[in-house]
Structure 1
Amino acid sequence: MIEINWLAFVQVFIAALIAAVLVVGFYALGLRMLVRAGRAPVVAPAEFTDAITVISEKEARRAEKAAAKAAKRSPLTTGQKRLALVAAYASFAVCAAAVLGGLLLIVFNH
């Protein structure tokens, strides 16, 4: 007869839910702080052999130009932009720490 420890199941479910919310939340906060700091991430189009390119080079240049224009219009002072950039990197560090902590729990908790 197989017995299921439902309390352990609920604990793992709650821990996974909290970890997912934290990682996604801090990643979104980090991206938002990058934009506030005037460093909007612009991704170059990917070239695939048998796939459709996500955006063209013209669209990528337009996005870079729009990001540069938005950075010039920013009402933030230099210090505020620097603080937003530090907050963005701290948010990404929290994401990395959460993922690394989860991996360490998996590897060393046996």
Structure 2
Amino acid sequence: MSIDIDWLAFVRVFVVALIGAVVVVGAYATGLRLLVRAGRVPVVAPAEFTDAITVISPKQAARAEKAAAKAARKSPLSPGQKMLARIGAYASFALCAVAVAAGILLIVVH
């Protein structure tokens, strides 16, 4: 009994997975960066878990929200530039979604 490994196929899968990961992470990071530049700082309310190492108090959450609002007000961009940054952010998020959907489609089809 002999087991033959197609090493070229292994390398292809590795390269495609690496490129896919770089595209998804890069598109998401670019989208977040552009969203912040557009003045839409995403503030996520902290979740309190019973087994969490650190829990954010309501006072700390309010402070973070206040800092995000202050950063949004200090944006040096004009309204047109903000709109362009927001459109770029949404396009980056769409690219991220398309890359994930293409990966799932490749897994399901092949």
TM-score by length of 2: 0.93
| Correspondence for 1:12 | 13
- Unaligned stretches of 5+ residues in structure 1: none
Which string of whole-angstrom CA distances, capped at 9 and with x for unpartnered residues, describes residues 76-107 of structure 1? Answer: 01111111111111101101000000001111
> In structure 2, what residue type is equivalent to 1:35?
V
Q: 1:1-60: CA deviations, max 9, x gaps?
A: 100001101100000000001111111000100110111111101022343454221111
Query: What residue in structure 1 maps to residue 79 of structure 2?
Result: 78
Question: Matched residues in 1 for 2:52 and 2:32: separation?
Answer: 28
1:24 aligns with 2:25: yes
CA distance in 2, matches of 1:12, 1:97: 19
TM-score w.r.t. the length of structure 1 is 0.93
- Aligned residue identity for 1:12: V
Q: Root-mean-square deviation (CA), in Å?
A: 1.2
- 1:40 is aligned to 41
5 Å-filtered alignment, 1:53-68, equals 54-68=55-69
Q: Is the 8 A contact 1:39 1:71 kept in 2?
A: yes
Structure 1 residues 42 and 20: CA distance shift in structure 2, 3 A:
same
Identity of aligned residues (%): 72
Q: Work out whether 1:95 is the aligned partner of 2:96.
A: yes
* Aligned residues between the structures: 109
* Partner-residue secondary structure (3-state), 1:46: coil
Q: Secondary structure at the match of 2:26?
A: helix
- For 1:54 and 1:100, the matched residues in 2 are separated by 35
Q: Would the alpha carbon gap of residues 25 and 54 (structure 1) be closer, same or farther in structure 2, given more than 3 Å must change?
A: farther
SS in structure 1 of the partner of residue 70 of structure 2: helix
CA distance in 2, matches of 1:50, 1:14: 38
Distance (Å, rounded) in 2 between the aligned partners of 1:22 and 1:48: 32
Q: Which runs of 5+ in 2 are unaligned?
A: none
